[in-house]
């Protein structure tokens, strides 16, 4: 049951998509939203060579560190003001908070008081980086003790989910959260087990069938050969989904799919939000 959502926002398109997803999910659960903007303290320790523009103004490139941080605070207040207005318009309870620190660490630490964290896979400085996952998103997924939803640049309704299931405890928790989303947000489920032996794969899926059946939830069940990341990518060709749900640990699914040394082509083929469950 999701009662409180933390959504981390900056001036990026990914953050706007995160907010849209947060409003949608909070609406399904009637949950409270905390909007968080983190002022990256590292910017006072390096030349402000980036364009920190926002719709309501821009931070000039030459400022003393204290002046620079004040401009960031002002920008954060404007971002959170927009967030508050959108959440209030949706008829949902909302709080906002500005913090200073290293974004990934701050988000993960504050996440402990919430049921779900939502943030973009990339941040406002994504166009200057070549990584497929932003540093804040990677840090949060490594540190968070609550589920994390990483979203793409453009939000779209979450109607179908691919649930990676290997029988591990994190996978079981991921399945339970996916089931809860199915009950509250009408999320359709496809459960996938990666196993080169079809019989072994079906045996693993029996546990998922039993749990979802006890909730009277219908789902599709698939066994695919190969490693989880490759199996997931192949499955989504014939079974398009809007989100992938998986355990953060277990059989190294997260490392294969998100944080590991997979090819850029594979990462680009999974252009849907990913819900990671510890």
DSSP lists the bridge partners of residue 96 as 35
The per-residue pLDDT for range 156-183, each reduced to its tens digit, is 999 999 999 999 998 999 999 999 999 9
- Quick check: 95 and 33 in contact, CB under 8 A? yes
Q: Report which of 153, 174, 173 is spatially closest to residue 21, judged by C-alpha positions.
A: 153
Q: How confident is the model at residue 268 (pLDDT cuts 50, 70, 90)?
A: very low
Whole-number Cα distances in Å, 135 to 56, 123, 129: 26, 9, 10
CA distance 159 to 253: 22
C-alpha 147 chain-centroid distance: 8
What number of residues does the chain have? 278
Mean pLDDT confidence for 106-119: 95
Query: CB-based burial of residue 269 (10 Å sphere; 0-12 exposed, 13-18 middle, 19+ buried)?
Result: middle
The per-residue pLDDT for range 189-225, each reduced to its tens digit, is 999 999 999 999 999 999 999 999 999 999 999 999 9
Domains with residue ranges and CATH for the chain: 4-151 (3.40.50.620), 160-277 (3.40.50.620)
CA distance 170 to 88: 34
Token couple for 125: 């400085």
């Amino acid at each position: 049951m999701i009662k409180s959502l933390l959504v981390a926002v900056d001036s990026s398109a990914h953050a706007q998509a995160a907010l849209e997803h947060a409003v949608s999910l909070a609406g399904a659960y009637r949950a409270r939203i905390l909007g968080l903007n983190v002022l990256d303290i590292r910017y006072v320790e390096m030349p402000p060579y980036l364009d920190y523009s926002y719709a309501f103004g821009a931070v000039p490139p030459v400022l003393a560190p204290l002046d620079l941080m004040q401009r960031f605070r002002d920008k954060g207040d404007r971002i959170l003001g927009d967030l508050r207005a959108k959440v209030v318009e949706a008829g949902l309870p909302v709080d906002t908070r500005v913090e200073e620190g290293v974004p990934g660490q701050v988000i993960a630490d504050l996440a402990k008081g919430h049921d779900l964290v939502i943030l973009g896979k990339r941040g406002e400085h994504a166009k200057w980086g070549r990584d497929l996952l932003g540093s804040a998103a990677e840090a949060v997924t490594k540190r968070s003790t609550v589920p994390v939803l990483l979203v793409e640049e453009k939000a779209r309704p979450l109607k179908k989910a691919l649930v990676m299931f290997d029988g591990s405890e994190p996978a079981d928790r991921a399945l339970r959260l996916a089931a809860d989303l199915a009950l509250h947000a009408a999320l359709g489920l496809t459960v996938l087990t990666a196993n080169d032996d079809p019989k072994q794969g079906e045996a693993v899926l029996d546990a998922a069938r039993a749990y979802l059946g006890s909730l009277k939830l219908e789902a599709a069940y698939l066994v695919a050969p190969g490693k989880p990341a490759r199996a997931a990518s192949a499955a989504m060709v014939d079974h398009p989904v809007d989100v992938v749900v998986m355990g953060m640990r277990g059989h190294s699914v997260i490392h294969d799919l998100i944080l590991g040394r997979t090819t850029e082509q594979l990462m680009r083929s999974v252009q849907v939000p990913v819900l990671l469950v510890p």
